[in-house]
Amino acid sequence: MSTSTQTVHVHTTSRDYDVLVGNNLLAQTGALVRKAGAFDAAFVVSDTNVAPLYLDRVRTSLEAAGFATQSAVVEAGERHKNLATFGTILEGMARAGLTRDSVVIALGGGVVGDMAGFAAASYMRGIQVIQVPTTLLSMVDSSVGGKTAIDLSCGKNLVGAFLQPTLVIADVSCLMTLEHEVFIDGLGEIVKHGVLADEELFDQLTHSPLRQDSDPSYLVHVVAHNVSIKRDVVGADEQEHGVRQTLNLGHTIGHAIEAASGYTLGHGHCVAAGLCCVSRAAEKLGWAPAGMSARIDACVTAQGLPTTTDISTGELFAQATHDKKRHGSGVNLVVPTGIGSVEMRHVSLDELAQIIELS
């Protein structure tokens, strides 16, 4: 049975674009890019894990559609999301003779998407980028919203730009080749989206957890649905002044767990645990209805993700307040107030300590 492609249309102040979510879309890349714009050349950026699996398919399709195509393959992994790799990509683009009418195609997970997007935003003061996300996280999170970045030695995502993509092509068949831990890492953000905005999706995930061998039409449905949730939040606040901060649900404690683990735990695993922690505390403080946190724990467990951490509360507090202490002003915390609703609360550092104790 063939799986139909779903289209999520995204409107932003700088550009309108489609996110196509389907099964076996990569072979149609050329035709889809052709429809998206009259580009004089395509430059595919990928990494050393993704390129051997999918680069030929994408290049063949682009060339069949008449695009002069060149590519850059960078070392896989977050530790290569740096200035050196960024420079290599830009030099490759210049050597390939890209013009302002060329397009960059980011073929890979969030690391490739962020770096290729930032390279596109910088080259000749900005050319277009098409995102072809190949991890679950990049499909439901990083490829949508227009944020691009690289890391500096002092911290993650410290340099970047906003560049909305011209098109996003999410082919769920790529999820089959992910390592299991990388696949489920994306589920952390998906459960977060459910708690943030969609009780029906949340319940569906609890009863039918997403798996790599789930029916492709279920994968397409869940990915497209998540894209539309992120689209709605980002659309209300493109430059991250207000509502977009609600996407940080689970991230205050999640980031603290991630940092305390020395970044050995996946981001989505940490967000899942952080989400459960803040939910338990919110319930104990009477900010959320009884029973909510048990439901969140059950959904997170069903996806194979952790609901707790064995990192000490003191260490979590130290990490969560790492750069806040000097300002002493507390933090903006996203608090779940039910399944499908959240509120922002400004909490003092003392209150944050209490929340971590209660979690």
Ligand X SMILES: NC(=O)c1ccc[n+]([C@@H]2O[C@H](COP(=O)([O-])OP(=O)(O)OC[C@H]3O[C@@H](n4cnc5c(N)ncnc54)[C@H](O)[C@@H]3O)[C@@H](O)[C@H]2O)c1
Residues with a known catalytic role: 125, 147, 189, 230, 240, 244, 248, 251, 255, 267
> Least distance to ligand X from the beta carbon of 141, Å?
4
| C-alpha separations of 216 from 23, 143, 151, 219 in Å | 7, 20, 34, 5
Which of 15, 37, 52, 77 touches ligand X by CB under 6 A? 77
Q: Counting contacts by CB under 6 A, is residue 59 touching ligand X? A: no
- List the interface residues with ligand X, window 150-179 (CB under 6 A): 157, 174, 177-178
Q: Which amino acid is at 341?
A: S
Q: Counting contacts by CB under 6 A, is residue 51 touching ligand X? A: no
Rounded-to-10 torsion of CA 156, 161, 167, 169: -10
Q: Which region among 10-18, 26-34, 90-98, 105-113 touches ligand X (by CB under 6 A)?
A: 105-113
| C-alpha separations of 238 from 19, 52, 162, 164, 235 in Å | 17, 35, 9, 10, 6
Which of 29, 128, 134, 293 touches ligand X by CB under 6 A? 134
Residue 72 and residue 104: Cα distance in Å, rounded?
A: 10
Q: Counting contacts by CB under 6 A, is residue 78 touching ligand X? A: yes
Structure-token match 């009884």, residue found = 290
Q: Counting contacts by CB under 6 A, is residue 240 touching ligand X? A: no
Q: Counting contacts by CB under 6 A, is residue 237 touching ligand X? A: no
- DSSP state for residue 15 in the 8-state scheme: -
Q: Nearer to ligand X by C-beta: 44 or 137? A: 137
Pick from 247, 255, 249: which is nearest to 309 by CA?
A: 255
Which of 59, 147, 193, 280 touches ligand X by CB under 6 A? 147
Q: Counting contacts by CB under 6 A, is residue 76 touching ligand X? A: yes
**Collapsed DSSP state (helix, strand, coil) of residue 68:** strand
Q: Nearer to ligand X by C-beta: 55 or 93? A: 55
Q: Nearer to ligand X by C-beta: 233 or 352? A: 233
- The H or E element containing residue 168 is strand 167-171
> Least distance to ligand X from the beta carbon of 97, Å?
27
Size of the site for ligand X (CB under 6 A): 28
Q: Which region among 71-79, 123-131, 290-298, 303-311 touches ligand X (by CB under 6 A)?
A: 71-79
Q: Counting contacts by CB under 6 A, is residue 53 touching ligand X? A: yes
Give ∠ CA 129-239-336 in degrees, rounded to 5.
115
Which of 5, 114, 163, 333 touches ligand X by CB under 6 A? 114
| C-alpha separations of 68 from 42, 108, 116 in Å | 6, 20, 18
Residue 146 phi/psi, 5° resolution? 85, 5
- Chain residues binding ligand X by CB under 6 A are 47, 49-50, 53, 76-78, 81, 108-112, 114, 134-135, 137-138, 141-142, 145, 147, 157, 174, 177-178, 182, 185
